Copies of this chain bind each other. A is one copy, B any other.
């Protein structure tokens, strides 16, 4: 079911810069269905992180006329690699938990996704079929996204979840919502580097618990992630980390001396 020839040249849409990232997918059929759903909605950029797919013929079977998209999909070994060039990285979640609050719906986020995609690549990250994204995976994500479903059966099939995200993005682009471009975000690789320096500095001054530094670091990641760091913000954060680090080291040295 469908209608209306709403074609745009492949490279000219914001959607063409929205990447779907599947982390450790297991169902070949699901990956094929994802490819079909993406092509139905005008997305093209599929990346698989360490897939473990058996019976690959199911992928081709379920992709139907989206085998081209499936063939063009890239495979990488880490999520960091998959999103390194992306200015905005969204992680899907189906669970609640301390690091999973503040999730918003695809409908709420779609205009923002379209705006960011006008100036550079945006990634939406989906976890494995059985458990979803781990807390470690979510580190890389600046914004959580979830589809509201019934508590009686909340868990969507992977391709269904991808479809709903792609559908809302397509709608937002056609609605003219998300008009006006956002300032360019810093690439995720640079942001991650700055987080690591910041974490090291906070460990140095004993602000983070060495047993569980992630607890507070997640709060910072969330704060800065919601904010969306621009290149200059990242430089400032790096500078601050350096300065804290210096003071932490000096104090330690003086303590040793005294």
Interface contact B94-A2, CB-CB below 8 Å: yes
Q: Which of B4, B146, B163, B246 is the one whose CB lies under 8 Å from A163? A: B163
B-contacting residues, A154-206, CB 8 Å: 154-157, 159-161, 163-164, 167, 170-171, 174, 179-180, 183, 202, 205-206
B-contacting residues, A49-85, CB 8 Å: 64-66
Residue interface mask A123-150, B partner, CB < 8 A = 1? 0001100001000000000000111111
The verdict on A153 contacting B257 (CB below 8 Å), with A6-B148, A219-B233, A240-B202 known, is no
The yes or no answer to A33 lying at the interface (CB within 8 A) is yes
Interface contact B205-A243, CB-CB below 8 Å: yes
Residue from A2, A220, A250, A254 with most neighbouring chain B CB atoms (10 Å): A2
Residues of chain B within 8 A of A5, CB atoms compared: 151
Known: A6-B150, A42-B152, A244-B247. 12 other contacts (CB 8 A): A1-B147, A2-B148, A2-B156, A3-B103, A36-B160, A40-B154, A41-B150, A64-B157, A207-B243, A207-B244, A219-B232, A254-B257
In the A-B complex, the 10 residue pairs with the smallest Cβ-Cβ separation, listed nearest first, are A254-B254, A227-B227, A2-B154, A2-B149, A5-B151, A3-B146, A1-B92, A226-B227, A1-B94, A39-B153
Residues of A within 8 A of B (CB): 1-7, 33, 36-37, 39-42, 64-66, 92-94, 96, 101-103, 105, 107-108, 126-127, 132, 145-157, 159-161, 163-164, 167, 170-171, 174, 179-180, 183, 202, 205-207, 216, 219-220, 223-229, 232-233, 236, 239-240, 243-244, 246-248, 250-251, 254-255, 257-258
